[in-house]
């Protein structure tokens, strides 16, 4: 272990929240690289600046991603972290683990890496922080042998991610765990061999609470929903009322479409299903009494991303309701995303995300060329200007000859 | 020879028996105490999830210790959450409190459920990122130490989700968080012409700039940066180590608030900037922790039950938020980027 | 998608093109050699498995001849 002092970082071992500095020191007992990482970080704390450089090439044979090149800016001073690359391991759906699997991840990493990890990265992968170029192929070979695969990096399908789903949540409107697993396996080529203008992400959330943040963080956001009416258990409603739960105030008054009515005398809660937008609020606050309907599936929204370059975009609706059937091998969904990716790959400029491309060329063109039928659910409200760019076939359909006959 | 394209481990092998038996048949859940979720299945079976905080940056020794707990109390099953918490999956109710006691004795923090602060999603910062304007883990640690009581209790008006991104590429989920902490560079890259000539292919460097602020300088065999167009994203530094973006004197932190991703009640919304700059003051970033605490306390004092931070501000109005909080308003906070017009008040109705 | 084995002629053209540049997007390679992008992508997949071409991730993904682009700490 290094004997170099880290007075600034030591301050961050105080306090009740678990300390990342303690974690680094723990790793430094066995890894010289982790010890040197502490010194580099202490220096950053002193100088208020980072000391890492990005490098493009560190890969394994046959893949175009999964490892991110990282180099310290003073390799002579810090030889043990001169190369300090990140390995991304594709996580199991829903971040579920048995301890045998977790221990296997740790055992392999103990042999070649710094002993430091992120459980998990923001996209979903297990992040292994800090290894040398010469070990990368061996690291991959051993993880592969143990049943793991690399996640995505670069201009590819990034590692997909899902919420806890039917594994432990009564809200799940489709099997997010299976959808994520099945669809990830379908698109292995897209995930491991970056060939697109930029990255593309898919996130699977089982309901509109959107615990994976799909709408904000995924180019293709799959958000569970239902088509029919909420199901209300009146006996359970009475129980909530008996327990002094403020059904009128906490449920009906907060319903965004005022579609719930509570009869305090009869202690009955009723819904006007036509007005319900399935926002999840009432289910969230009365989980024992209110359930999603029976006709379940997902809404497909596209275009979400963070700020770089054209501002942050939320995904927007392109398919209001789609069955997400494991029995049909998710064919409808797979067919849709293939059309979308093909269109984006054909038209996107370098480093242009799907949402930015749609913004640049227009939603109408996207829908026409990706063969997606326009529906009112796609917009909050229609356009306020008359600047429609009419395609010729529309002119042919709607024009009228001077004699009044159809063209 | 490695097997290519075998995909992630099958989640089905990771599920405890109680989940396999009740898969998709969960009826409801409740939160019997902070940090514990009780999910009840149609069959009557119950699963207890004990949630603990994590710094996300974990050593394998700690993961192995976590595995020991899971082996002893959970038949070897656990999971992580999207927000980097660890959840021990306990199927025997009698083991819940002994597990919590054992975890607490070892210094683990049980909490993060319901109307609490959950773990802060964050990026790598000075630990591993190449374009950070601040550290990530250190700021998170300082903020969570300060707000610790709100992790282990459930006394907030609603849940509060925070994110931290260490530069304005915003890799963390700060753009839709109740409170987003964003590292900001504020000065254009400095060009080391000598290094650039040695290391960099100029056309790709020029192409890397999202705003077209970099143009070739053939005379100099280097490039010129149009400083008015530079948005300080650091993409050019990713392409070339000769374009240093870090600036210890001017780098710092901005605070954005009021975002959410859930559709409950109101549509998902972006976080909005309320403090354009706070200094980097390691190791404990007191200006940042104080600013966040004041915003949090204002929300606690004024919000209605169940109202997320952004819902509260939208109800009272952002102008009212600034007068209540006393935070200085400046033109830095008025959008002048692509979608700015949507944020201008095109109405004669407002408060003071 | 079942793509089948790549066209050896396209593979040879890709190698020839990449010898002339430092790195390129596969789209640009496709335009330069007059092939369909999907065929180029498929050929690149084989060329990387054969250790002749590698992917390079700097803000977006490029392809280059194996070993042609150096890492930041290599001396030039």
Distance CA A248, CA A238 (A): 13
Quote the mean pLDDT of chain A.
Answer: 95
Q: Does the domain made of A161-227+297-373 have the CATH classification 3.30.413.10? A: yes
- Minimal-distance CA residue of chain C relative to A197: C60
- Minimal-distance CA residue of chain A relative to B236: A54
Q: Which member of C44, C57, C73 has the closest CB to residue A75? A: C73
Q: Which member of A17, A100, A350 has the closest CB to residue B76? A: A100
- Per-residue pLDDT, B169: 85
| HEC string for B89-140 | EECCHHHHHHHHHHHHHCCCCECCCCCCECCCEECCHHHCCCCCCCCCHHHH
| HEC string for B191-258 | ECHHHHHHHCCHHHHHHHCCCCCEEEEHHHCEEEECCCCCCCCCHHHHHCCCEECCCCCCCEEEEEEC
Q: Of A51, A55, A57, which to mutate for an interface test with C (greatest number of C Cβ within 10 Å)?
A: A57
B284 in contact with A at a CB cutoff of 8 Å? yes
Tokens describing residue B243? 């374009």
Q: What is the CA radius of gyration of chain A?
A: 26
Dihedral (Cα; B94, B100, B101, B103), 10-degree rounding: 140
- Per-residue pLDDT, A356: 97
Average pLDDT over residues A213-217: 96
Regarding the domain delimited by A7-145, which CATH topology (the fold level of the hierarchy) does it fall under?
Alpha-Beta Plaits (3.30.70)
Q: Which member of A58, A61, A346 has the closest CB to residue C51? A: A61
Q: Of C22, C59, C75, which to mutate for an interface test with B (greatest number of B Cβ within 10 Å)?
A: C59
User: Please, what sign has the CA dihedral across residues B112, B118, B123, B128?
Assistant: negative
What number of C-beta contacts closer than 8 Å exist between A and B? Answer: 340
Nearest chain A Cα distance for residue C44, angstroms:
9
- Per-residue pLDDT, A265: 95
Q: How confident is the model at residue A1 (pLDDT cuts 50, 70, 90)?
A: very low
Distance CA A256, CA A51 (A): 49
Q: Which member of C59, C62, C76 has the closest CB to residue B199? A: C76
- A83 to chain C: which residues are within 8 Å by CB? 73
B176 in contact with A at a CB cutoff of 8 Å? yes
Chains that touch C (3 or more CB pairs under 8 A): A, B
- Per-residue pLDDT, B172: 74
The reply to whether residue A71 touches residue C72, judged by beta carbons under 8 angstroms, is yes
C76 in contact with B at a CB cutoff of 8 Å? yes
Chains that touch A (3 or more CB pairs under 8 A): B, C
Q: Of A48, A126, A355, which to mutate for an interface test with B (greatest number of B Cβ within 10 Å)?
A: A48
Q: How does pLDDT run across A377-391, given as a tens digit for each residue? A: 999 999 999 999 888
- C27 to chain A: which residues are within 8 Å by CB? 197, 345
B196 in contact with C at a CB cutoff of 8 Å? no
The reply to whether residue C57 touches residue A68, judged by beta carbons under 8 angstroms, is yes
Checking if the pLDDT of C75 tops 50, the result is no
Q: How confident is the model at residue C1 (pLDDT cuts 50, 70, 90)?
A: very low
- C72 to chain B: which residues are within 8 Å by CB? 199, 241
- Per-residue pLDDT, C73: 67
The reply to whether residue A15 touches residue B145, judged by beta carbons under 8 angstroms, is yes
Q: Of C49, C55, C56, C65, which to mutate for an interface test with A (greatest number of A Cβ within 10 Å)?
A: C55
Nearest chain B Cα distance for residue A297, angstroms:
14
Instruction: Give the distance from CA B193 to its chain's centroid.
Output: 36
B266 in contact with A at a CB cutoff of 8 Å? yes
Class of domain A231-291: alpha beta
The domain locations on chain A are: 7-145, 161-227+297-373, 231-291
Distance CA A395, CA B308 (A): 49
The reply to whether residue B204 touches residue C72, judged by beta carbons under 8 angstroms, is no
User: Please, what sign has the CA dihedral across residues A248, A251, A254, A255?
Assistant: negative
Cβ A332 vs Cβ A323: under 8 Å: yes
- C58 to chain B: which residues are within 8 Å by CB? 204, 208, 238-239
- Per-residue pLDDT, A3: 55
Q: Which member of C25, C55, C59 has the closest CB to residue A64? A: C55
Q: Which residues, 6+ apart, have CB-to-CB distance to B282 below 8 Å?
A: A8, A45, A48, B135, B138
The reply to whether residue A195 touches residue C72, judged by beta carbons under 8 angstroms, is no
Q: How does pLDDT run across C55-72, given as a tens digit for each residue? A: 988 888 899 999 888 777
Owner of token pair 């700059």: B277
- Per-residue pLDDT, A407: 64
The reply to whether residue A71 touches residue C71, judged by beta carbons under 8 angstroms, is yes
Q: Pairing mode, if any, of strands A260-263 and A268-271?
A: antiparallel
B224 in contact with A at a CB cutoff of 8 Å? no
- Minimal-distance CA residue of chain A relative to C39: A195
What number of C-beta contacts closer than 8 Å exist between B and C? Answer: 18
- Minimal-distance CA residue of chain B relative to C49: B4
The reply to whether residue B235 touches residue C59, judged by beta carbons under 8 angstroms, is yes
- B4 to chain C: which residues are within 8 Å by CB? 49
Chains that touch B (3 or more CB pairs under 8 A): A, C
pTM of the model: 0.96
Distance CA A124, CA A127 (A): 9
B226 in contact with C at a CB cutoff of 8 Å? no
A18 in contact with C at a CB cutoff of 8 Å? no
Nearest chain B Cα distance for residue C58, angstroms:
6
- Per-residue pLDDT, C20: 95
Per the rule left: phi > 0, alpha: psi between -120 and 50, beta: everything else, B112 is left
User: Please, what sign has the CA dihedral across residues B316, B318, B320, B324?
Assistant: positive
The ipTM (two decimal places) reads 0.96
Q: Of C20, C23, C58, which to mutate for an interface test with B (greatest number of B Cβ within 10 Å)?
A: C58
- Minimal-distance CA residue of chain B relative to A204: B82
Are both A161-227+297-373 and A231-291 of the same fold? no
Q: Does the domain made of C8-67 have the CATH classification 1.10.3720.10? A: no
Residues of chain B with pLDDT under 70: none
């Amino acid at each position: 272990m290094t004997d170099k002092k880290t007075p600034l970082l030591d301050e961050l071992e105080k306090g009740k929240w678990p300390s990342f500095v303690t974690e680094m020191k723990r790793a430094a007992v066995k890894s010289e690289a982790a010890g040197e990482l502490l010194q580099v970080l202490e220096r950053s704390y002193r100088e208020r600046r980072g000391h890492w450089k990005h490098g493009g090439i560190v890969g394994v044979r046959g893949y175009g991603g999964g490892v991110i090149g990282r180099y310290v800016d003073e390799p002579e001073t810090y030889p043990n972290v001169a190369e300090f690359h990140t390995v991304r391991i594709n996580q199991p759906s829903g971040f579920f683990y048995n301890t045998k699997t977790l221990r296997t991840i740790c055992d392999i990493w103990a042999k070649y890496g710094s002993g430091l990890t992120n459980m998990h990265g923001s996209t979903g992968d297990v992040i292994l922080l800090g290894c040398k170029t010469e070990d990368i192929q061996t690291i991959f070979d051993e993880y592969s042998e143990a049943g793991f695969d690399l996640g995505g990096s670069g201009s590819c399908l990034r590692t997909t991610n899902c919420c806890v789903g039917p594994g432990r949540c009564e809200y799940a409107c489709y099997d997010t765990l299976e959808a994520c697993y099945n669809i990830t396996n379908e698109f292995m080529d897209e995930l491991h061999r970056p060939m697109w203008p930029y990255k593309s992400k898919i996130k699977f959330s089982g309901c509109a609470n959107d615990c994976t943040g799909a709408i904000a963080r995924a180019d293709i956001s799959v958000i569970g929903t239902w088509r029919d009416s909420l199901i209300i258990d009146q006996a359970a409603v009475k129980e909530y009322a008996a327990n002094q739960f403020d059904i009128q105030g906490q449920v009906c008054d907060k319903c965004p479409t005022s579609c719930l009515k509570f009869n305090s005398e009869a202690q009955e809660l009723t819904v006007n299903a036509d007005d319900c937008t399935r926002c999840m609020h009432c289910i969230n606050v009365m989980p024992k009494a209110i359930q999603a309907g029976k006709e379940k599936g997902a809404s497909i929204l596209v275009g979400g991303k963070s700020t770089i370059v054209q501002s942050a975009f939320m995904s927007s609706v392109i398919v209001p309701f789609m069955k997400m059937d494991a029995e049909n091998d998710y064919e409808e969904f797979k067919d849709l995303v293939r059309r979308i990716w093909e269109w984006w790959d054909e038209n996107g400029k370098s480093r242009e995300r799907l949402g930015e491309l749609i913004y640049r060329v227009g939603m109408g063109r996207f829908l026409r060329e990706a063969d997606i039928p326009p529906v009112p659910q796609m917009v909050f409200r229609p356009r306020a200007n008359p600047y429609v760019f009419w395609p010729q076939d529309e002119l042919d359909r709607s024009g009228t000859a001077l004699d009044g006959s159809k063209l | 020879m490695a097997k290519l394209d075998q995909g992630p481990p099958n989640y089905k092998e990771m599920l405890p028996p109680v989940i396999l038996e009740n898969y998709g048949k969960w009826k409801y859940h409740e939160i019997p105490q902070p940090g514990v979720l009780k999910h009840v299945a149609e069959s009557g079976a119950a699963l207890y999830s004990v949630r603990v905080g994590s710094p996300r940056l974990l050593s394998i020794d700690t993961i192995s210790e976590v595995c020991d707990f899971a082996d002893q109390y959970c038949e070897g099953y656990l999971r992580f959450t999207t927000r980097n918490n660890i959840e021990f999956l306990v199927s025997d109710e009698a083991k819940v409190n002994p597990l919590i006691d054992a975890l607490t004795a070892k210094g683990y923090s049980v909490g993060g459920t319901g109307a609490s602060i959950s773990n802060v999603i964050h990026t790598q910062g000075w630990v591993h990122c190449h374009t950070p304007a601040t550290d990530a883990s250190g700021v998170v640690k300082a903020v969570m130490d300060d707000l610790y009581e709100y992790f282990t209790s459930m006394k907030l008006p609603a849940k509060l989700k925070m994110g931290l991104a260490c530069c304005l590429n915003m890799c963390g989920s700060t753009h839709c968080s109740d409170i987003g902490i964003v590292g900001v560079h504020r000065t254009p890259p400095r060009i080391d012409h000598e290094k650039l000539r040695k290391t960099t292919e100029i056309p790709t460097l020029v192409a890397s700039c999202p705003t077209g602020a970099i143009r070739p300088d053939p005379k100099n065999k280097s490039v010129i940066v149009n400083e008015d167009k530079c948005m300080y994203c650091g993409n050019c530094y990713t392409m070339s180590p000769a374009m240093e973006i870090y600036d210890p004197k001017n780098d710092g932190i901005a605070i954005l608030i009021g975002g959410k991703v859930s559709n409950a009640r109101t549509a998902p919304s972006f976080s909005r900037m309320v403090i354009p700059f706070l200094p980097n003051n390691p190791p404990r970033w007191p200006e940042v922790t104080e600013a966040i605490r004041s915003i949090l306390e204002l929300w606690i004092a004024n919000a209605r039950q169940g109202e997320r931070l952004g819902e509260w501000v939208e109800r009272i109005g952002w102008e009212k938020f600034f007068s209540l909080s006393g935070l200085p308003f400046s033109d830095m906070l008025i959008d002048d980027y692509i979608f700015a017009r949507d944020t201008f008040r095109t109405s004669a109705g407002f408060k003071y | 998608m079942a793509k089948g084995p790549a066209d050896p002629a396209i593979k040879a053209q890709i190698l020839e093109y990449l010898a002339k540049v430092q790195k390129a997007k596969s789209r640009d390679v496709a335009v330069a050699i007059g092939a369909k992008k999907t065929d180029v992508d498929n050929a690149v997949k084989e060329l990387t498995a054969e250790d002749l071409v590698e992917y390079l991730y700097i803000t977006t993904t490029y392809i280059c001849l194996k070993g042609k682009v150096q890492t930041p700490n290599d001396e030039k």
